[in-house]
Chain A
Amino acid sequence: DGGITQSPKYLFRKEGQNVTLSCEQNLNHDAMYWYRQDPGQGLRLIYYSQIVNDFQKGDIAEGYSVSREKKESFPLTVTSAQKNPTAFYLCASSIQVPNTEAFFGQGTRLTVV
């Protein structure tokens, strides 16, 4: 089955630790995205990538880092510099042309303990 997979589903982090969220897709999509969602809120763009080995900051990139070494994978690292990391993180992908839909993973819920 084609799709986009995020892991883990739940993640707990101690203050001061870096954690990496996984996002893998087998849809052959060029574009991939990371969004953050806080309770009762919309989605805010963290980083996006249109092609392998290239990515751009979104609206709230501070305290986060990404890499895009393979087309299928776009991991997100939440660093200790992110002061309020507890949130629901969503990864998405889309074909690299305008006017197409995005496909979302099921999300990772990150909690700082």
Chain B
Amino acid sequence: SQQGEEDPQALSIQEGENATMNCSYKTSINNLQWYRQNSGRGLVHLILIRSNEREKHSGRLRVTLDTSKKSSSLLITASRAADTASYFCATDPRPQGAQKLVFGQGTRLTINP
């Protein structure tokens, strides 16, 4: 079952602009993570936000979490062509207990030079 759903499914912007991607999920979570995937490659962890946190920053990345709305957003500021990739949110859902990540469908981000 897919816990997270990203929106939009695809996003194309100009280099230098900000990119915002959203993730909605269905059940209570322990944490929410964002990953990046370059075409045909494995996923790379970007940032983790715990259920008791509302906002987190890492370099040009800003993640927010609203547990009342069961949603998160990933903001990439001052985008670069190298940011072109697919971005996935992943949740560690309660009360399943076992540590496993449930991924959404992803947002395909294209940065145009």
Binding site for B on A (CB under 8 A): 6, 31, 33, 35, 40-45, 48, 50, 56, 58-59, 88, 90, 92, 94, 96-107, 109
Contact = CB atoms under 8 A, between A and B. Distances in A.
Given A104-B42, A107-B41, A107-B42, A97 B99 contact: yes
Nearest to A107: B42
A99 B50 contact: yes
14 contacts: A42-B103, A42-B105, A42-B106, A44-B2, A50-B98, A98-B30, A99-B31, A101-B45, A101-B48, A103-B45, A104-B35, A104-B42, A104-B44, A109-B40
A31 B99 contact: yes
Interface in B55-113: 88, 90, 92, 98-106, 108
A96 to B, nearest CB: 7
A42 B104 CA distance: 6
A43 B88 contact: yes
Contact of A102 (B1, B41, B101): B101
A27 to B, nearest CB: 13
A48 B92 CA distance: 14
Given A42-B2, A56-B98, A58-B100, A90 B42 contact: yes
Contact of B101 (A33, A50, A107): A33
Given A45-B101, A96-B99, A101-B33, 16 more contacts: A31-B99, A41-B106, A42-B4, A42-B104, A58-B100, A88-B40, A90-B42, A92-B43, A94-B99, A99-B92, A102-B33, A102-B43, A102-B101, A105-B42, A106-B42, A109-B40
